[in-house]
Amino acid sequence: MNKVEFSPSLMTMDLDKFKQQITFLNNHVDSYHIDIMDGHYVPNITLSPWFIEELRKISEIPMSAHLMVADPSFWVQQLVDIKCEWICMHAEVLDGLAFRLIDQIHDAGLKAGIVINPETPIESIFPYIELLDKITIMTVDPGFAGQRFIESTLDKIVDLRKLREEKGYHYVIEMDGSSNRKSFKQIDAAGPDIYIVGRSGLFGLDEEIEKAWEIMSTDYEEMTGKKMP
């Protein structure tokens, strides 16, 4: 990946302005981050495969589903059926399932990702890391927006970059959680390929998405010294 990408977390958008916000973002972003929570793995219930189908009516941007669910097998098949471009599963619920589900995603011509919680070591995914298209590092605990940024999780991003270079792996590295003005500098130093931005980094900055994007861009450029991609 030659440039940093930004993927808005649509769980945190203003659904009253769904079409307006998506129409604007279609011209600025590289993917959309869709949180799917089942009320079991995490206590909240959020978006769904149906939401992705509705989104496709007004967007051709690739969709990345983040499965915060207790039974990934049930949800993976639904996402395969609607051809969700990225299907990302939590490492913590994949014991005995990882190879089968990754193969199922790849056999459908889609991309497989793994999400790692703050307290989960990257070594837990080493048995199948060479198969992965994306690894997402949670920089907050999963399930809730607006949590405290856990800076120590950025060490995993640094380690995954080194490992990718040493082994020739093909995964991209994504960070998820409290990506905003306060954390942009630290995140940039770690060097992920994809920033997920939510309420604190984008949607909560202004009621109008155009202004919110402008503020986010300025924040990123001021804190990192780099131009917004």
Phi, psi at 87, each rounded to 5°? -125, 115
Query: What Å distances lie between residue 88 and 15, 20, 207, CA to CA?
Result: 23, 27, 30
Angle separating helix axes 49-56 and 72-81, nearest 10 degrees: 20
Is 107 annotated in a binding site? The answer is no
* Catalytic pick among 35, 133, 193, 219: 35
Is 144 annotated in a binding site? The answer is yes
Per the annotation, the verdict on 71 as an active-site residue is no
Distance, CA of 23 to CA of 19 (rounded, Å):
6
Is 33 annotated in a binding site? The answer is yes
Q: CB 142: neighbour CB atoms within 10 A?
A: 20
Is 40 annotated in a binding site? The answer is no
* Catalytic pick among 133, 176, 193, 219: 176
Per the annotation, the verdict on 141 as an active-site residue is no
Is 176 annotated in a binding site? The answer is yes
Is 126 annotated in a binding site? The answer is no
Is 188 annotated in a binding site? The answer is no
3 within 8 A of 228, measured Cβ to Cβ? no
Is 143 annotated in a binding site? The answer is yes
Catalytic residues: 35, 176
State the binding site for a divalent metal cation: 33, 35, 66, 176
State the binding site: 33, 35, 66, 143-146, 176-178
State the binding site for substrate: 66, 143-146, 176-178
